[in-house]
Amino acid sequence: MRALPSVIFMSRWLQVPLYLGLIVAQAVYVVLFLKEVWHLVTSAMTLDETSTMLVVLSLIDVVMISNLLIMVIVGGYETFVSRLGVEGHPDEPEWLDHVNAGVLKVKLAMALISISSIHLLKTFIDPDQRSEHTILWQVIIHMSFLVSAVAMAWVDRLTTRTHPEHFHEPPGRQPISPPLKAHE
């Protein structure tokens, strides 16, 4: 009865279209980013300081969401589907050599907090655009993200300390040390 475990194991490849869809979403964010940059450049002489700050915060927001997408695409694929085979590549992300589901969750939670912070900052810069009720809910949601991230990080830390045997580097997947300098 080896067929069933093989089918279950191979089912991880069903996630590939999901990651490809996220790459398409990433391309959409590039278009949105370029549109916002164009708006900033063409309106630079007419925008006041607050409006300029809001456009710049929108640019930062798009970049942070894009970073979140990259973490999910690269980290998720590496964790749940297959190795990317980029070990030793000069552009390999530093965090990729020790990514696991726990690390990925904490990184994603931190990214969500950063994105939420940008939205909250935009609200505080231009509070007249929102009701007190909306502002209160944004603060509550942001605080929920903070509490959730701290709880996830704490649980991940407890798990890695109480069961360290589950968190060793897999065979053939050792962290890459930086190259030695010529004078060393």
Full-prediction pTM beyond 0.85? Answer: no
Give pLDDT, residue 90.
84
Q: Count of alpha carbons within 13 Å of 20, Cβ hemisphere only?
A: 5
Section 101-107 average pLDDT: 76
| Cβ proximity of 54 and 122 under 8 Å | yes
pLDDT tens-digit series, residues 12-29: 999 999 999 999 999 999
Residue spans of the domains in the chain: they are 3-85+93-164
pLDDT tens-digit series, residues 108-135: 888 888 888 888 888 888 777 778 888 8
Question: Shortest CA distance to 169 belongs to which of 88, 107, 101, 97?
Answer: 97
Distance CA 5, CA 2 (A): 6
